[in-house]
Amino acid sequence: MSSEGPIRLGLVALFVTSLVVAQLTASKLLAFSLPLALPIVGSTLVMPGSAVAYALTFFASDSYAELYGRKAATVVVNVGFAMNFVLLGLVWSTILAPSLPAAAQPVDPEAFRSVLAASTGIVAASLAAYVVSQNWDVFVFHSIREYTGGDHLWLRNIASTASSQLLDTVIFIGIGFVLVQGVPLESALALVIGQYILKLLIAVVDTPFVYAIVRFARGRTETATPAVQ
């Protein structure tokens, strides 16, 4: 295995793991109290439980895109897209498989079904949002990279994530919560704002970590490559 192997594999693993976890945790709504009231959202920031996990996918994809290029990043995005269908297949095969009576189980089968089956609509919404936002993220990241001649990693990380996360949030909430679950538009708007604020904060906070990953990976590659005599 080359010196870059563990880092490359680790970023792909982080991307796919965060993506799958996001699908399974999105149906729970989180609420965080704010020190002051904001327009629309009030004094409580509400967001799907998947917000942090999904934001990590953009950290992983931006790090991966910087290190291995646009085509390689697009492959990872497409693999992640396919894994959503694997997730659905595994979840529903478990739900529909014969099981012991509820009294003999640590979790009632109906409760198990109600929780995991809820992820189906979420995954459908996520697939639509995913295709648009992740490909947009890779496109914007590399467009800025070409425009700046490879400089200003912080700019392309924040700009690509901020714009793609906005697309993702609007599409995801619109389909998964408004169309599928019938959430009122006012409540949906609060969800959009809450989730997007958190994602923007994560995009800013994770920028130093993107720099660290890129420098570490490139440092290892340079160290592992023998000098040409």
89 lies in a domain? Answer: yes
14 lies in a domain? Answer: yes
Indicate if the pLDDT at residue 13 is higher than 90.
yes
229 lies in a domain? Answer: no
Q: What is the 3-state secondary structure (H, E, C) of 190-220?
A: HHHHHHHHHHHHHHHHCHHHHHHHHHHHHHH
Report residue 26's pLDDT band, with 50, 70 and 90 as the boundaries: confident
64 lies in a domain? Answer: yes
How does pLDDT run across 161-182, given as a tens digit for each residue?
888 888 988 998 888 888 877 8
How does pLDDT run across 184-207, given as a tens digit for each residue?
888 888 888 887 887 788 878 888
Counted domains in the chain = 1
How does pLDDT run across 30-83, given as a tens digit for each residue?
888 888 777 777 788 888 788 888 888 888 988 998 899 888 988 998 888 888
Secondary structure (DSSP) of 54-97:
HHHHHHHHHHHHHHH-HHHHHHHHHHHHHHHHHHHHHHHHHHHS
User: Residue 116 burial by CB count (10 A; 0-12/13-18/19+): exposed, middle or buried?
Assistant: middle
111 lies in a domain? Answer: yes
What range does the domain containing 108 cover?
Answer: 5-224
How does pLDDT run across 80-113, given as a tens digit for each residue?
888 888 888 898 899 999 888 888 888 888 888 8
194 lies in a domain? Answer: yes
Closest of 132, 143, 129, 126 to residue 88, by C-alpha: 126
41 lies in a domain? Answer: yes
Output the pTM of the full model: 0.75
